[in-house]
Structure 1
């Protein structure tokens, strides 16, 4: 009986992972108070700015959505600039900026826009309870051939596996090249990173990894939402025809089947 591959010997479970009382543990991810402009009435003392280069294929989309991005940042007192000659975006604070952390959120917005994330979805990163994660999947597979096969399994037929994984984790997922860009809550992104890494380390579909983790008692449905996992109830879910099980519910690594 073989277990899922891990990233290293130091990847050990945290205390909040093994605590059965998840209600107390989940409070650590909650946002207690949102920023109030009255906390910083004088504004920023210095000007902070960030720039981000975007690929040429994104120029047409950025030109179309830039007025919406500019108006959304203006509400938070942040100025933005789109340079079409050198192909880069810039955000900077102004005298009307009150939230010191909003410039970091604006920097994350530029990074998501340059990674083929739609502007309507990328603007949600300005919210306090929203975060993002960039997962590098190119280094996880042992070879380029196995990486391409696992990438096809991760997407599924007409992106069915990707849509079902979004439903299960409540995250927005965008696969671009050798990276996976995701947006969601802190707790959901942490769970998503574990699933994505196991998918490319073991060469399995997301549905197979979720089923394996549930049977192993590592990521059951009562762990996060205390409800049935919507992954298998999704209309996009299709059972795998190449699933091999051992005693105890563990799945054999797909590398042994190549």
Structure 2
């Protein structure tokens, strides 16, 4: 269906065989076909969007008033979405050398270098046993250090806790003293207000008695 639509709009005959596209037609139509094929291969734009653009251009070409104007405002703008694509495996090629790599020393060569080749079987077994004991002693020492590290008292944490305790106690004592002082002030204010109310009541009673007399 897509091929037929492109053939009708471009006026070209298109044949697809595998990864090859062959087209035959006018110069203008071949340019349009080439652009459609290249955008499709490079995954830039789907052929459907090109077909929509060609349909719009075909309708605009019929209007002679728009012959001298640009058609960009009439054409749709398709935004490409950022789709994750597989990254190609770019492995670094090693530099070619015609010479083979150097031969690795064999077990016998290593024994000749260390002098174990000329040792007796008893000495070899004794040496292996000694190496095994050394490894075991190293591992046991590491385990012992880890166990002892758990029982070491943390000095920094202890001092920090003491500081927090002292600061909290100080703030608590300050709050208590402030609250007591405020309570005393409130009680003093209440006693003064009670005295003033009593004096006012006595003055009112004396005034009323004088009026009656």
Q: Please say whether Structure 1 and Structure 2 have the same fold, judged by a TM-score greater than 0.5.
A: no
Larger strand fraction of residues: 1
Larger radius of gyration: 2
Which structure ranks higher in relative contact order (CA pairs < 8 Å, sequence separation ≥ 6)? 1
Structure 1 length normalisation: TM-score?
0.24
Larger helix fraction of residues: 2
